[in-house]
Amino acid sequence: MATFDLRQLERIQKVTKADFISRYYRPQQPVLIENLTDTWNGKWTLNHIKSLAGDQTVPLYDNKPAQGKESVYEPVMKMNFGKYIDLIKSEPTDLRIFFYTIKDHCPDLLEEFEYPDIGLKFFKRLPALFFGGGQSKVFAHYDIDLPDNLHIHFEGNKRVVLFGPNQSKNLYKVPLSIHNIDKIDMDNPDFERYPALGHAQGFEVYMKHGDALYIPSGWWHYITYLDGGFSMTLRALPRTPKRFANMLYNVFVMRNIDNAMRKIKGQKWLDFKEQWAHRRANRITST
Ligand SMILES: O=C(O)CCC(=O)C(=O)O
C-alpha cells in the first residue's frame, strides 16, 4: 500500500503561553498538546452530551463527496441525537455530524470548559463539535476562514494527517475550493496517476481522549475516526492583515463564485476544476 511522506508530529505536555507563542504560533508549527484539558471536569463524554441534547434531531453526513449540483451542506439523513450517539458507541459507521455549534445547540456545555490560556484569541461565538463513527473520514481540506484552530478530541481515537499551506500544489488543490481532487485516496495515494503527491510532505498524529491539536492557519487536515468519538474545535480568527484579507476573499468572493458556478454548471464545473487541478500539479512536477 502506498503512503505519503509523513513525520510523526511533536507531542508536548502542558505549555506556557510564552512558549506556545514563540515555538508554535509565530512560526505556524502544528503541535499536539497532552494534558491541556486535565483541569476540565469529567463531563466530556458522549453520555453527558446525550443527557443534555439526546432528544434533538441532528443532520448526518457520510464519506461520499457531493456530486453535480448537490449541496455539500445537504445531509444524507437526519436522526435522533441520542440514537446517533448509541450507534457510534456500538458499531462502526461513517455517519458523522459536523459543525454542531455549542452556543446554538447545547449552551449548557459552555459551562464545562475553560478556554486554554495559550495566547490564542479565541472567537467565542463559534466553539463547535464534530462527531464521527469508527469508519468516518473527513476529506483533506483547510478551513475557509483561515483560523488558528485548537482541535480537542474526546472518547475513542482518531488519526490526523497535516500538510502545510505550501503543500497545496503537491496535493492537487482544486481551484476556488479548500479541498483537493476528491478521487484521491488519501489512505493509499496513486502516485502514478497523481505524481505530485509523491512530493507532498506532512505530519501524522494519533489523538486520544483529552489531546489538543494546534492546527495553524491554512494547514490541511485529513481525519480518520478510528472509533466512535467527538471533538471540539476552538478557532482564533486570523490576525495579520494579509490573512484577514484572504479570509474575507475566501468567505465572501471565492465561495460565492464557486457556489454560483456549481448551481449553473453542476458536474461540468466540478470536472473542469478537477482537470485544472490535475494539469496544474502535473505541470509543476514536470518542471
Ligand atoms: O473532526 C472532524 O470531524 C472535523 C474537524 C475539522 O475539519 C475542523 O475542525 O476543521
The per-residue pLDDT for 26 is: 95
**89 or 67, greater pLDDT:** 89
Q: Is residue 74 pLDDT above 90, yes or no?
A: no
Per-residue pLDDT band at 65 (split at 50, 70, 90): confident
Check if CATH label 2.60.120.650 holds for domain 5-286: yes
Whether the CB of 224 sits within 6 Å of ligand 1: no
pLDDT in tens, 104-160: 999 999 988 989 999 999 998 889 999 999 999 999 999 999 999 999 999 999 999
Locate the domains of the chain by residue range. 5-286
From ligand 1's centre to the CA of 192, what distance in Å? Answer: 29
164: Cα separation from own chain's centroid = 13
Residue 233 near ligand 1, beta carbon < 6 Å: yes
In whole numbers, what is the pLDDT of the chain averaged over residues? 93
Which atom of ligand 1 is least distant from the CA of 130?
Answer: 3
Query: Ligand 1 centre from 256 Cα, in Å?
Result: 22
pLDDT at 286: 66
Task: Give the residue-averaged pLDDT of 197-202.
Answer: 96
Q: Whose CA is nearest to atom 8 of ligand 1?
A: 233
Residue 287: its pLDDT value, please? Answer: 63
Three-state secondary structure call for residue 18: helix
- Asked whether 132 lines ligand 1 (CB < 6 A), one says yes
pLDDT of amino acid 140: 97
- Mean of the pLDDT values across residues 251-262? 93
Q: Which of 79-83, 123-127, 278-282 has the highest mean pLDDT?
A: 79-83
pLDDT for 68 beyond 80: no
> Best of 219, 223, 230 to mutate for ligand 1, by most ligand atoms within 8 A of CB?
223
Least confident of 45-59, 79-93, 163-177, 260-274: 260-274
Average pLDDT over residues 181-188: 95
The pTM of the full predicted model, rounded to 2 decimals, is: 0.95
Exposed, middle or buried by CB within 10 Å (0-12, 13-18, 19+), for 280?
A: middle
Comparing 39-43, 143-147, 179-183, 208-212, which segment has the lowest mean pLDDT?
39-43
Phi and psi angles of residue 242, each rounded to the nearest 5 degrees, phi first: -65, -45
SS3 108: helix
User: What does the pLDDT read at residue 142?
Assistant: 97
Q: Is residue 156 within 8 Å of residue 224, measured between CB atoms?
A: no
Closest protein CA for atom 1 of ligand 1: 130
In short, whether 143's Cβ falls inside 6 Å of ligand 1 is: yes
Q: How far apart are CA 100 and CA 102, in angstroms?
A: 6
Position in ligand 1 atom list of the atom nearest CA 132: 3
Distance in angstroms (rounded) separating the CA atoms of residues 67 and 70: 6
Q: And the C-alpha cell for 73? A: 451542506
Q: Report which protein residue has its CA nearest ligand 1's atom 9.
A: 233
Decide which of 50 and 14 is more confident: 50
- Ligand 1 touching residue 151 (CB < 6 A): yes
Per the CB < 8 A criterion, the answer to whether 140 and 186 are in contact is yes
Mutate to test the pocket of ligand 1, among 98, 217, 237 (most ligand atoms within 8 A of CB): 98
Q: What is the pLDDT of residue 105?
A: 96
